[in-house]
Amino acid sequence: MHKKTLIELSQALQQRSCSSVELTRYFLERIQNAQHLNSFITVATELALDQARVADARLAQGNATPLTGIPLAHKDIFCTLGVKTSAGSKMLDNFNAPYNATIVEQCQAAGLVMLGKTNMDEFAMGSSNETSFYGPVKNPWDIESVPGGSSGGSAAAVAARLCPIATATDTGGSIRQPAAFCGITGLKPTYGLVSRYGMIAFASSLDQGGPMGHSAEDVALLLNAMAGFDARDSTSLNHPKEDYSTSLHDHISGLKIGVPKEFFGEGLNADVGKVLETALSELEQAGATLHDIKLPHTHLSVPAYYIIAPAECSSNLSRYDGVRFGHRCDHPEDLLDLYERSRGEGFGVEVKRRIMIGTYALSAGYYDAYYLQAQKIRRLISNDFHEAFKTVDVILGPTSPTTAFKIGEKINDPISMYLSDINTISVNLAGLPGLSIPAGFVNKLPVGLHIIGNYFSEARILNVAHQYQQRTNWHQQIPAGF
């Protein structure tokens, strides 16, 4: 069953050749047998089976959606009623959410079955899934390598066929980079297309929830359930509902693909570059045309991001004070001691680093020099994309300049770690949609192709991805042993 596509699983359920309870038990057993990957923080066995029984009743009554009865996993950053929501942190290790995030509500309304909550970098801060309080996630393609972060648990679970689809979040590349490292398909939608209500905040102007799956078709179907206006989220956009699967089969003859020299220069692994050249040639054979473009401020995206994101992180994480919820130190001497020890004990090293950077950038005398300047650079980066989309339909490049690196290789080198997101960060700063799809292998590790679109062009980039996947089978590859 784990080799079937989402459409095939849906058809099997609709035709009653298997039940949702049977399918759910099948994937729960796979999760149990793959504990060495450490991809799940919580496995919600009883809840999943209860939801599967409800789904089977809907299927029997004939009022099911295409996703009814399909198991999925939620990144442990989305609040789930009565189920631990930790954000990968000791700070929230004892937190059972009193409500559901909008994304969780929408998935339940579609009849999806929650298998559990996936492991992640603490508060989504990391590029390798090594900062989690619950330990690092292993890449199914090489258990000595990282799966990428911060959504590495979701990516590893999908890649290892522990679940057909999963939710994730992307602040600077945290859907697309792990999707590339694990050889799956992952989409960061236009900022505001998917509600952030009930999604634990890291950097509010950058955070965006999105879907992960094996193929563009899988991702399109899950996005149908996730996207939509939410009055509870002040950044939610009132964009008309779309069916992102309807244009998947459209031809791409005449499509104008922008190829930025900034994505193919210094820092790009030569073998990764060759894989990307082959992928571009494949799209040319499908009728697309390649056009050289410039995104001149791309080199400023990493420094701008690592001012803006920590500044917002510093503000958002100030709510974890040991008073209202989350970790509380034992026997505090006074209020200041409560604050200091609760935060000192509850947060990990990377979270503390970013809080300190952000607090410094926002402090009196430095706000204009750092945070305000970074926001000006953000506008320049956005303008670069605006100009590029006047002449091209989509922009393509490598999702990451390298394949997955070894666990422990960069954990003590923050700058090197931050640079692993160099090709994805600018998309978040501009609020654009971006998609990573499998494009080949280098030394038996997956390589991701990054497809960037203009605002609200999710259907277009999914169409490009689907057409590529119709001509290749990289997205169908399964790691050995799974």
Neighbours of 481 (CB within 10 A): 9
Name the active-site residue from 10, 20, 39, 75: 75
Neighbours of 459 (CB within 10 A): 19
Contacts of 335 (CB under 8 A, 6+ apart): none
What gap in Å lies between CA 351 and CA 317, rounded to an integer?
9
What gap in Å lies between CA 363 and CA 367, rounded to an integer?
6
Tell me the DSSP string of 213-279.
ESSHHHHHHHHHHHB---TT-TT---PPP--TTTTTT---TT-EEEEEGGGSSTT--HHHHHHHHHH
What gap in Å lies between CA 123 and CA 191, rounded to an integer?
19
Is 352 one of the annotated active-site residues of the chain? no
Name the active-site residue from 10, 20, 86, 150: 150
Name the active-site residue from 132, 174, 400, 436: 174
> Starting at the edge strand that comes first in sequence, how are the strands of the sheet with 185-188 ordered?
40-43, 113-118, 71-75, 165-170, 208-213, 185-188, 434-442, 445-452, 394-398, 256-260, 289-293
Spacing of C-alpha 367 from chain mean position: 30
What gap in Å lies between CA 89 and CA 121, rounded to an integer?
8
Is 150 one of the annotated active-site residues of the chain? yes
CB 129 within 8 A of CB 136: yes
The CA-atom distances, in angstroms, between 141 and each of 151, 178, 283, 398, 400 are 16, 12, 26, 19, 17
Tokens 């970790």 label which residue? 327
3-state secondary structure of 71: strand
Strands 208-213 and 165-170: antiparallel
Tokens 């399964």 label which residue? 478
Q: 150 φ, ψ to 5°?
A: -90, -10
Strands 165-170 and 113-118: unpaired
Is the bond leading into 150 cis (omega within 30 degrees of zero)?
Answer: yes
Is 174 one of the annotated active-site residues of the chain? yes
Among 173, 171, 167, residue whose Cα is nearest residue 148: 173
What gap in Å lies between CA 461 and CA 51, rounded to an integer?
33
Tell me the catalytic residues: 75, 150, 174
